[in-house]
């Protein structure tokens, strides 16, 4: 991707992170709620544009539709996990995150219409930030997280539910089968999901890429 496009995306991410970090300072779960609310948005945008293209008969990319839908479902369960941890308790937190998500949706749609590559790079950078955010949280709170039980929604999603869509959003050769024994494991898997999203977005930037899940 050209340096200018990457720099523009970096500036967008930096601005958003600056605001989120300030508003949610010292409140990790509320911050994660906001991040997950926003993180789902580009996949909705990609699906909207791809459905438009299919409706108009421009092209058919069932592989992209399937993978991006699977990505929305993964981020949806991340959001449910953060809500179960109390991240959405405050009205002001919900209001800000949801309105920022709507704004981001239209930016992502416009960007995807003009340059899918740039849109995928923006999403890659969003996922990269999410990965490092969760990784830092795990390092700083390991003992506390290991002493707490996992929320039921996390156990169900990662170990008991239908894992078809869980497999579909990943581009790795091996299937992941997470283990959930405590809250630390939950955040390890959320972090690892973000890494998988990041790799998928990197792959989507390649010319003529054909998405294949494990």
pLDDT in tens, 81-93: 999 999 999 999 9
CA angle 29, 194, 95 (to 5 degrees): 40
Q: Could you tell me if residue 20 is inside a domain? A: yes
| Domain residue limits at 191 | 3-204
State the CB neighbour count (10 A cutoff) for residue 187: 23
Cα–Cα distance for residue pair 118/25, rounded to 1 Å = 30
Rounded CA-CA distance 54/27 in Å is 42
Residue 211 lies inside a defined structural domain of this protein? no
Q: What CATH number is attached to the domain comprising 106? A: 1.20.1260.140
Cα–Cα distance between 73 and 8 in angstroms, integer? 28
Nearest to 203, CA basis, from 35, 58, 63, 84: 63
Q: State the average pLDDT over residues 49-78.
A: 88
Whether 96 and 34 have beta carbons less than 8 Å apart is answered as yes
- Look at the block and give the residue holding tokens 């899940």: 213
At 137, is the secondary structure helix, strand, or coil? helix
60 found inside a domain: yes
Model pLDDT for residues 195-208, shown as the tens digit of each residue: 999 999 998 888 76
Cβ contact 49:109 at 8 Å? yes
Q: Does 213 map to a domain?
A: no
Predicted TM-score of the model (pTM) = 0.88
Q: Mean pLDDT in the chain? A: 88
Please give the tally of structural domains in the chain: 1
Q: Mind listing the pLDDT tens digit for each residue in 161-205?
A: 666 566 666 565 556 677 899 999 999 999 999 999 999 999 888
């Amino acid at each position: 991707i050209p340096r200018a496009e990457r720099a523009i995306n970096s500036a967008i991410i930096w601005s958003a992170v600056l605001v989120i970090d300030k508003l949610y300072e010292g409140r990790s779960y509320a911050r994660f709620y906001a991040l997950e609310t926003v993180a789902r948005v580009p996949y909705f945008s990609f699906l909207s544009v791809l459905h438009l293209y299919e409706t108009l008969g421009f092209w058919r990319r069932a592989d992209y539709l399937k993978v991006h839908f699977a990505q929305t479902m993964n981020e949806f369960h991340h959001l449910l996990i953060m809500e179960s941890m109390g991240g959405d308790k405050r009205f002001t937190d919900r209001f800000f995150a949801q309105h920022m998500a709507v704004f981001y949706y239209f930016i992502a749609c416009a960007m995807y219409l003009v340059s899918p590559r740039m849109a995928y790079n923006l999403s890659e950078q969003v996922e990269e930030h999410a990965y490092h955010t969760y990784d830092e949280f795990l390092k700083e709170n390991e003992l506390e997280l290991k002493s707490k039980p996992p929320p039921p929604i996390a156990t169900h999603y990662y170990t008991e539910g239908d894992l078809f869509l869980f497999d579909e959003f990943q581009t790795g050769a091996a299937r992941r089968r997470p283990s959930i024994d405590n809250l630390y494991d939950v955040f390890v898997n959320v972090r690892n999901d973000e890494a998988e999203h990041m790799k998928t977005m990197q792959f989507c930037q390649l010319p003529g890429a054909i998405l294949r899940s494990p």
